[in-house]
Amino acid sequence: MDIHQILKQLPHRYPFLLVDRVLEIDKGKTIKALKNVTINEPFFQGHFPHRPVMPGVLMLEALAQAAALLAFDTLDSSPTDDMVYYFAGIDGARFKRPVEPGDQLILEVELLRMKAGIFKFKARALVAGDLAVEAELTCAMRKIA
């Protein structure tokens, strides 16, 4: 899935779109995507000017965006203007290494279960094969008024 297809599936836009490409997707099971991390990211100006490091919450957000792509693919659907995909929980988040400009963050997400618009995922992100972050994510699809 290239960036044009991702833009059709996710409502996020610059500077908050954190998935550049989907490398693999196994319908209803797993997704493997990537985020190219560059010095041009706006958060590096303040986090931290003397040693740029990608904020952990943004690594988790990138994983959640990959999870959303997996969820929409699993349901054979696309988001609509009256639908929002929310974080509902983050469990067991562990940060194992810093992510710096020039890194390629490989996002791996596995769907554990889904019921009534609630999805539970096992997620991790790697840089050059080294674990950067892992967590269990709970997300919910909800209609908005």
If one counts every other C-beta atom within 10 angstroms of the C-beta of residue 94, the result is: 11
Distance CA 66, CA 144 (A): 22
pTM, to two decimals: 0.96
Give residue limits of the domains in the chain.
3-143
Which of residues 11 and 18 earns the better pLDDT score? Answer: 18
Which of residues 130 and 145 earns the better pLDDT score? Answer: 130
Distance CA 131, CA 94 (A): 10
pLDDT in tens, 87-138: 999 999 999 999 999 999 999 999 999 999 999 999 999 999 999 999 999 9
* Mean pLDDT over the full length of the chain: 95
Q: Is the pLDDT of residue 74 over 90?
A: yes
Task: State both tokens at 107.
Answer: 């996002």
Q: What is the DSSP string of 27-40?
A: TTTEEEEEEE--TT
For residue 106, list its beta bridge partners. 34, 126
Q: Is the pLDDT of residue 24 over 90?
A: yes
Length of the chain: 145
Enumerate the active-site residues: 47
User: If one looks up domain 3-143 in CATH, what number appears?
Assistant: 3.10.129.10
